[in-house]
Amino acid sequence: MADTIKTAILGGGCFWCTEAVFSRLKGVLKVTPGYAGGNTEKPTYQQVCGGTTGHAEVSKIDYDPSIISYNGLLEVFFHVHDPTTLNRQGDDFGEQYRSIILYSDDEQKAAAEKFTSKLNASAEFQRPIVTEIKQLRAFYQAEDDHQNYYENNSGQPYCRLIITPKLDKFRQKFPQSLKAP
């Protein structure tokens, strides 16, 4: 199986949210919150939140393409956040919360561009998609306290008010894609 593992890097707002969603998908082997898309090497959470690094909060998603495709990941990605708001997801705002796809090869770039164009043409969203599609230069893993955040803190107010409803929406939209409990 190790030869078939692929990686996607996606940012759709707070990485606690994207990690919680993608970790529940069949075929996803590991989700690692981190930072990418900016210029600062080895940024910290405080630096990224300060808005001076150019990085976004992202999730590195290791997946088995024989179970879920890159397009399958994109389908979930575009439906669990608002890809039409610039530098904002709900009450989280700043460029670190922007909608971003970081591709690692031409195949991912073409798939992301095609998927985004198809969604824009469908008028599924009332406003144009503003998701940035950018080549991945580096991924920096977030600090340990950001890993498995929802699993370790599900009783915290942010988790109960923001992540749990997002997970409920995800479960309703993609019930066939969920891992067995």
Length of the chain: 181
Sign of the alpha-carbon torsion through 141, 142, 144, 148: negative
Say which amino acid occupies 173. K
**Predicted local distance difference test score (pLDDT) of residue 103:** 98
| Token pair 């904002």 in the structure block, residue | 88
- pTM of the predicted structure, to 2 decimals: 0.95
pLDDT mean values, one per 10 residues, the chain (181 residues): 84 96 97 97 96 96 97 96 92 94 98 96 93 98 97 95 93 91 74
Q: Please, are residues 91 and 46 in contact by the beta-carbon 8 Å criterion? A: no
From 14, 17, 49, 159, active-site residue: 14
Report the distance separating Cα 107 and Cα 17, nearest Å: 26
User: Within a 13 Å sphere around the CA of 48, how many CA atoms are in the beta-carbon half?
Assistant: 25
**Predicted local distance difference test score (pLDDT) of residue 2:** 52
3-state secondary structure of 75: helix
Sign of the alpha-carbon torsion through 101, 107, 110, 112: negative
Domain 2-177, second-level architecture: 2-Layer Sandwich (3.30)
Q: Please, are residues 85 and 130 in contact by the beta-carbon 8 Å criterion? A: yes
pLDDT tens digits for 28-43?
A: 999 999 999 999 999 9
Distances (CA, A) of 138 to 30, 34, 143: 18, 10, 16
The question of whether 14 is a catalytic residue gets the answer: yes
**Predicted local distance difference test score (pLDDT) of residue 140:** 98
**Predicted local distance difference test score (pLDDT) of residue 26:** 97
Report the distance separating Cα 97 and Cα 80, nearest Å: 14
Segments making up each domain of the chain, as ranges:
2-177
